[in-house]
C-alpha cells in the first residue's frame, strides 16, 4: 500500500517510488511533499523539480518516514534539503548552548555581586587596620579576585558568541575559501547567508559593562575610608579609574549599543543605555574630574534617559520594568540628590538580561530559534511577538503559534539552579 493505493494502481514510469532504509515504500510525489522539495527546488506540477531554488533563512528540521518516523537522511533525492536541516540543527544546538551559558554566567555574576556586598564591611575593617600600601594592594586584589575570575569566564563566552564563531559563518567562510581556489573574485556578492545572531554576544558585553560598574562602585566605597597612610594610594587608584576608566567604559557602551541596534535587540539596548547612564552618574559625581567633563557626562546621561523612555513607549510590554530605575538615575543626575545603586536594582538588571525579571518563567524558541520567556501563567499574550526578531509567538486564545517550540533543556537547567 502506497498512500492508500496498491501497487497495481501505480504506474512506475509516471510515478516512480522510493524505498527508504526502514523498508517503507512511497511514491516520489508524495514523499516530495513531506520532505518539502519546493523549499530547495523550483517544482513544476508536470515535470517535478526543474532547477535549484534559493533557500531562505527559515530554520529547517530533518523530515521522517510517515509510517515509522525513520530518518530520510541518506536519500540522495533530498540531499540538499537534509544537509540544510543538519546545519540548521547544529546552529540550533549552538543557540541553546549559548542560552544555557548566559543563564549560568548571569547567575554566577549575581553571586559574585552578592558575595562582594556581604564581604564589603569586613574588607573595609581589614583595610583600615593596615599600615602599608603593599598589604592594602594585596587585600584589594583578593577582594576583587572573584570579579576578575568572572571576567575571564565572561571573555571566553563572548568569544564563543561573536559572529566569527557561529557555525553558519564558519561554514560560509569554508565554502567561500574552497570555491575561490578555482574561481575568480567578485562572485561572493551573489552568495547569501543567514545574518549572524548578535543577541548572545551583545548580552555578554552587557555583563562586561555590569562588571565595570561593579568595579567602579567598589572603588568608590574606598574613597570614604579616610585613612591617613593609605589616602594617597586610594586617591591615585580611584582617581585614575573614575576619570579615565569611566570615560572608556562609556565609550565601550556606545560600541555595544551599535551592535544591539544592528541586531534589533530592544531589551539589551535599554540595558546598555541604563548601565551607561549609571556610569555617567559616577563621572558626573566625581569631584576630581574637570567641570567640562562632569557637565558633558550629565548632558549625555540625560540624553540616554530620553532614548530609554522612547524605547519603553515603543516596547512597553518588555521594557516597562525599567521605569523606576530611570527615575532613580534621573534624580542622581540632579545637583541636589544622589542615590547609590542598590543591590536589588543591580540584581533586577541581571534578571532582566535573562528575561526573567519576575521569576517563575518558562523558556521557548520562536520560529527563528530565538529564546524568549513567558511568565508564570505559561501562555503568551495574543499577538505577542519575539522580542529579538519580531516573529509572532502568540495567537488567538493565548495559544502558541506554529513554529514555537519549548526550550526543554534550558528550562531543566534553570529549574536546577
Question: How confident is the model at residue 303, as a pLDDT?
Answer: 93
* Grid cell for residue 249: 567604559
pTM of the entire structure? 0.74
pLDDT beneath 50: ranges in the chain: 1-2, 190, 357-359, 376
Question: How confident is the model at residue 1, as a pLDDT?
Answer: 41
Question: How confident is the model at residue 377, as a pLDDT?
Answer: 52
Question: How confident is the model at residue 205, as a pLDDT?
Answer: 95
Cβ neighbours for 336, distance < 8 A, ≥ 6 positions apart? none
282 to 189, 224, 322: CA distances (angstroms): 47, 15, 19
* Grid cell for residue 288: 576630581
* Grid cell for residue 160: 564563543
Q: Where along the chain do its domains lie?
A: 82-161+198-354, 362-415
Distance from C-alpha of 105 to C-alpha of 157, rounded to nearest angstrom: 9
Element (H, E) at 245: none
Please provide the DSSP assignment of 28-56 as one string: HHHHHHHHTHHHHEEEETTTEEEEE----
Nearest C-alpha neighbor of 82 from the set 55, 42, 48, 44:
55
Please provide the DSSP assignment of 254-279 as one string: HHHHHHHHHTT-HHHHHHHHHHHHHH
Distance from C-alpha of 196 to C-alpha of 156, rounded to nearest angstrom: 18
Amino acid at each position: 500500500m502506497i498512500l492508500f493505493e496498491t501497487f497495481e494502481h501505480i504506474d512506475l514510469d509516471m510515478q516512480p517510488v522510493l524505498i527508504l532504509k526502514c523498508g517503507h515504500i512511497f511514491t516520489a510525489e508524495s514523499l516530495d511533499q513531506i520532505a518539502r522539495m519546493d523549499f530547495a527546488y523550483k517544482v513544476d506540477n508536470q515535470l517535478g523539480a526543474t532547477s535549484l531554488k534559493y533557500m531562505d533563512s527559515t530554520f529547517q528540521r530533518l523530515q521522517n518516514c510517515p509510517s515509522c518516523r525513520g530518518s530520510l537522511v541518506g536519500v540522495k533525492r533530498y540531499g540538499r534539503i537534509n544537509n540544510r536541516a543538519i546545519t540548521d540543527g547544529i546552529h540550533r544546538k549552538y543557540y541553546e548552548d549559548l542560552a544555557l551559558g548566559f543563564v549560568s554566567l548571569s547567575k554566577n555574576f549575581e553571586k559574585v555581586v552578592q558575595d562582594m556586598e556581604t564581604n564589603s564591611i569586613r574588607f573595609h575593617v581589614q583595610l583600615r587596620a593596615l599600615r602599608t600600601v603593599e598589604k592594602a594592594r594585596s587585600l584589594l586584589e583578593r577582594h576583587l579576585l572573584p570579579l576578575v575570575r568572572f571576567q575571564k569566564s565572561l571573555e571566553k563566552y563572548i568569544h564563543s558568541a561573536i559572529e566569527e564563531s557561529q557555525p553558519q559563518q564558519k561554514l560560509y567562510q569554508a565554502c567561500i575559501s574552497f570555491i575561490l581556489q578555482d574561481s575568480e573574485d567578485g562572485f561572493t556578492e551573489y552568495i547569501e547567508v543567514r545574518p549572524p545572531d548578535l543577541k548572545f554576544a551583545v548580552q555578554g558585553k552587557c555583563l562586561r559593562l555590569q562588571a565595570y560598574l561593579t568595579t567602579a562602585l567598589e572603588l568608590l566605597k574606598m574613597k570614604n575610608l579616610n585613612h591617613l597612610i593609605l589616602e594617597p594610594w586610594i586617591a591615585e587608584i580611584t582617581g585614575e579609574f573614575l576619570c579615565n576608566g569611566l570615560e572608556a567604559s562609556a565609550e565601550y557602551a556606545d560600541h555595544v549599543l551599535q551592535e544591539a541596534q544592528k541586531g534589533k535587540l530592544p531589551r539589551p539596548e535599554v540595558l546598555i543605555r541604563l548601565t551607561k547612564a549609571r556610569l555617567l552618574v559616577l563621572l558626573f559625581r566625581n569631584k576630581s574630574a574637570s567641570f567640562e567633563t562632569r557637565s558633558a557626562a550629565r548632558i549625555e546621561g540625560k540624553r540616554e534617559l530620553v532614548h530609554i523612555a522612547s524605547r519603553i513607549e515603543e516596547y512597553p510590554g518588555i521594557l516597562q520594568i525599567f521605569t523606576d530605575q530611570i527615575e532613580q538615575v534621573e534624580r542622581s543626575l540632579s545637583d541636589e540628590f544622589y542615590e547609590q545603586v542598590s543591590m536589588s536594582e543591580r540584581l533586577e538588571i541581571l534578571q532582566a538580561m535573562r528575561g526573567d525579571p519576575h521569576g517563575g518563567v518558562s523558556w521557548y524558541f520562536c520560529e527563528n530559534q530565538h529564546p524568549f520567556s513567558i511568565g508564570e501563567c505559561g501562555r503568551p499574550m495574543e499577538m505577542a511577538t519575539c522580542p529579538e526578531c519580531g516573529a509572532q509567538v502568540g495567537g488567538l486564545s493565548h495559544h502558541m503559534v506554529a513554529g514555537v517550540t519549548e526550550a526543554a533543556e534550558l528550562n531543566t537547567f534553570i529549574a536546577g539552579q
